Amino acid sequence: MRLEGTHELHAPRDKVFAALTDPQVLARCIPGCESLEKQAGDVYTAKLSAGVGAIKGVFQATVRMADMRPPEHYRLIVEGKGQPGFLKGSGDMDLTEKDGITSIHYVGEASVGGLLASVGQRMVESAAKMLAGKFFSALEAEAQK
């Protein structure tokens, strides 16, 4: 599944990038994040209770950041595993700033497996988009602080 989108954040790029790479901020922004701990380098482990509406699942996830070029680019690699199956995704984040507004453009590939894939195929894409939307609006609020 290919995921692509652009979100506009009313905050300067430096602050957005700093927020994006701050584990404490991330923990507050990732929907359903119950804990996020920094492991070696740019690798984090997280416990996510991700869900949409009545549908919820608990995931153990690792989040890795690579190709860091502050404040304009990095690559995000997420792998999660839980009772409803697993999810994997990686994407390139490109940040540009214009008139005090930072655009984050992401392009990535994601795949899900297990229950999520076999019973959720009609909704996974919408769910991914929705969670991304939630994440970026929380991030915007953080970057405006």
Q: Interface with other proteins by CB under 8 A: which residues?
A: 52-57, 83-86, 111-115, 117-123, 125-127, 129-130, 133
* Block residue for tokens 């994601």: 110
Q: How far is the CB of 141 from other proteins (least distance, A)?
A: 18
| Between 57 and 71, CB nearer to other proteins | 57
117 and 127 Cβ atoms separated by less than 8 Å: no
Nearest to 56 by CA among 131, 5, 111: 131
- CA torsion, points 43, 47, 52, 53, in degrees to nearest 10? -160
| Between 76 and 128, CB nearer to other proteins | 128
94 and 72 Cβ atoms separated by less than 8 Å: yes
| Between 18 and 124, CB nearer to other proteins | 124
Q: How far is the CB of 107 from other proteins (least distance, A)?
A: 16
Q: How far is the CB of 12 from other proteins (least distance, A)?
A: 28
